[in-house]
Amino acid sequence: MQLNETANADARDEALALAAFAVAAAVDGGATAAEATLAINDRFGAEARGGELTKLEQSRGRSLSMRTFVGKRRASLSTTDLTHDGIRALAKRIVAAAAFVSEDPHAGLPDTVTPAQEDAALEMLSPDVAAREPEAKIDDVIELERLIRQADARIDNSRGSHAGDTQATVALVNSLGFRGAYRMTSASRSTSPIARDGDDLRIGSYGSAARGYAGLESVADVARQAAKRALDLCGARRPGTLRVPVIFERDVAAAVLSDLFNAVNAANIAVGNSYLTDAIGETVGSAHVTIVDDGRLPGGLGTSPFDAEGTPTRMTTVFERGVLKSFLYDTYYARRLGAQTTGNASGGGIGVNNFYLYSGDHTLDELIAATSRGVLVYDTIGFATEHASGTYSRGARGVWIENGEIAYPVDGFTIASNFKAMLAGIDMVANDVRFDSGIVSPSFRVTEMTISGD
């Protein structure tokens, strides 16, 4: 453990030193302000199909990204050449590039500098990632493939089973005096079995992700859930066209929230590409809709002590009991819209930290039992959200509910509505959220949507 801690400290110190060198080189080259981010990523990945290992990857990546400002002109470049000569060359190119960029009155580094420290309470680092042997990770994917085939004779193929992890160090330095670094880990395992259903193939995908292996669902649980998803769709039929309640299973519910994030992203608000542009303070959703973005959620996969500009992360309430409270901002769009950054800067844009809908008091089974007739959606297909109007339309597959029970699988249909109507129509929320991504959600029910099938 002592050797690992020493290595981690060395990587952090090296990253900070190189980022500081880059900032100094840019300022010496004529930049009026500069920012440098140095990322070091150690990655492992394994894939299997059948009983054979089909892919094995282990790598260390190091990259430097820079933003420089010459007055109100901004330019960004990156490199993997981390020699001093390579960094000087990058600084020279990026300062020169700024001369060809139009002035922007909102461009610039954050207005204030807050000292940054690693915070163990954020639970971003799990020692079992470094401690787990590669052979054990390879065994995971081989076992996933064995278990999904063992589940049912109809499963004789897959799109592959995967296991992987990352150990990362991120350092950020800017010319205003900000200097911060943090370390983080993540691990995942997943599988996608294919079940034969006559002439059709039914694919079921399931995975688990966490900061470390101790937080993952077991290999057996991942295999069982994935196999069940594939088998549950065997014998699927096309439903009719009607309006019924729709239950979004938690993974599909997270995809709905991903669309919603685009509507509260200040970059879209600034250009009017959101149906929520003028809706701050309005009741948009039902009382079941409380959605937050929390950059300090312990163990969250989107958790960090500061964002990509060095602004401390925070919890921002976006919706509170249906009322739209806030958009999500970085420094640039906060200035442009007369607001304050919410600590959501990410790679030159605005990103999520941990964006999620608050859990309810029900199980998914209780949502099903409370639905006399409707559909439980397991998966959606396509990208048909019109962000300016809020129109929502997706191909879908799942199961039909009759008299509070699952009746039969359904496929080849479309679900459609408007996002405001969907948010207002959420009348039940489950308690099954998993924090396995930056955007997550419990399962929830919308009182009525259009189902278009036969």
Q: Say how far apart CA 292 and CA 93 lie, in whole Å.
A: 40
List, in sequence order, the alpha helices (H) in 43-114: 84-98
CA distances from 53 to 45, 139, 356, 365 (A): 11, 9, 36, 37
> Alpha-carbon Rg of the chain, whole angstroms?
24
Q: Say how far apart CA 385 and CA 453 lie, in whole Å.
A: 19
Q: What is the amino acid identity at position 14?
A: E
Using one digit for the tens of pLDDT, what is the confidence trace for 243-259? 999 999 999 999 999 99
Using one digit for the tens of pLDDT, what is the confidence trace for 379-409? 998 766 678 889 999 999 999 999 999 999 9
pLDDT at 197: 94
Burial 362-381 (b: 16+ CB within 10 A, else e): bebeebbebbeebbbbbbbe
Strands 200-203, 206-210: pairing is unpaired
304 SS3 class? coil
Residue 405, beta-bridge partner list? 402
Tell whether the model's pLDDT for residue 7 goes beyond 70: no
pLDDT at 114: 82
pLDDT at 115: 76
Q: Say how far apart CA 436 and CA 344 lie, in whole Å.
A: 19
164-173, 294-303, 383-392: segment of lowest average pLDDT: 383-392
Q: What is the amino acid identity at position 392?
A: Y
The sign of the torsion formed by the CA atoms of 64, 69, 70, 76 equals: positive
pLDDT at 5: 57
Cβ atoms of residues 147 and 223 within 8 Å: yes
Cβ atoms of residues 429 and 442 within 8 Å: yes
163 SS3 class? strand
Tell whether the model's pLDDT for residue 89 goes beyond 60: yes
Using one digit for the tens of pLDDT, what is the confidence trace for 338-364? 999 999 999 889 999 999 999 999 999
Mean pLDDT of the chain: 94
Tell me what percent of the residues of the chain surpass a pLDDT of 90: 91
For the record, the structure tokens of 299 come out as: 């163990």
pLDDT at 454: 74
Q: Say how far apart CA 237 and CA 454 lie, in whole Å.
A: 10
Tell whether the model's pLDDT for residue 411 goes beyond 50: yes
pLDDT at 352: 97
Using one digit for the tens of pLDDT, what is the confidence trace for 20-72? 999 999 999 999 999 999 999 999 999 999 889 999 999 999 999 999 999 99
Residue 236 makes CB contacts below 8 A (sequence gap 6+) with: 197, 200, 202, 397, 408, 409, 410, 411, 412
255 SS3 class? helix
Crossing angle for the helix pair 84-98 and 2-28, nearest 10 degrees? Answer: 40
Using one digit for the tens of pLDDT, what is the confidence trace for 99-158? 899 999 999 999 888 877 668 899 999 999 999 999 999 999 999 999 999 999 999 999
pLDDT at 2: 44
Residue 125 makes CB contacts below 8 A (sequence gap 6+) with: 183, 184, 185, 211
Ordered structural domains, the chain, with CATH: 2-229 (3.30.2290.10), 236-454 (no CATH)
Q: Say how far apart CA 218 and CA 137 lie, in whole Å.
A: 12
List, in sequence order, the alpha helices (H) in 126-249: 128-131, 134-151, 219-232
